[in-house]
Amino acid sequence: MLFEFANIFVFLLIAIGFVFVTLVIGKLIRPDNPSPAKNMVYECGEIPIGSGIRQFNMRFYLVTFVFVIFDVEIAFMYPVTAVFKELINSGYGLLAFVEIFLFVLILLVGFVYAWSQGGLDWVRDQASRLNS
């Protein structure tokens, strides 16, 4: 089993090595004459104003936050799912089902709350935002 996990590292090393070697070969044979116009940030031909790193919308944060909660939930669901068949065969199936259902239900309440508050709506209209 240890060797099987080592395979992953070999794979990652091959990926890194492939990109690195090709870039080095490229560096030796490709032309390299930069100029200010070439290095300019591409904005459809306009001269860019200000830095490219700007403020972005809060909702990206909200989406990621809901994601983290659900990802942790799924991480807890995986082990139960993997042994569910054995549990059924040994007679504890209903118990396991009720437990995992309660667990998901608790998080589902949070999900329904986020939904009802409009946390899942990407575009919120002005009227409902003023009321909430």
Sites for other proteins among residues 12-41 (CB under 8 A): 12, 14-16, 18-20, 22-23, 25-27, 29-34, 36, 38-41
Minimum Å gap between C-beta 46 and other proteins is 11
Least distance (Å) from other proteins to the CB of residue 120? 5
Six token digits for residue 18: 């492939």
Q: How far is the CB of 97 from other proteins (least distance, A)?
A: 5
- Total residues contacting other proteins (rule CB under 8 A)? 72
Question: Least distance (Å) from other proteins to the CB of residue 119?
Answer: 9
- Exposure of 1 by Cβ count < 10 A (0-12 exposed, 13-18 middle, 19+ buried)? exposed
Side-chain-side CA neighbours of 42 within 13 Å: the count stands at 2
23 DSSP assignment: H
Pattern 80-119, binding to other proteins, x per CB under 8 A? -xxxxxx-xx---xx--x--xx--x---x--x---x----
Query: Is residue 76 near other proteins by the rule CB under 8 A?
Result: no
Residue selected from 45, 47, 58, 64 as contacting other proteins according to rule CB under 8 A = 64
Instruction: Report residue 11 as tokens.
Output: 């794979």
The closest alpha carbon to 110, from 124, 123, 120, belongs to: 120
Contact status, residue 93 vs residue 87, Cβ threshold 8 Å: yes
Structure tokens at 74: 């799924």
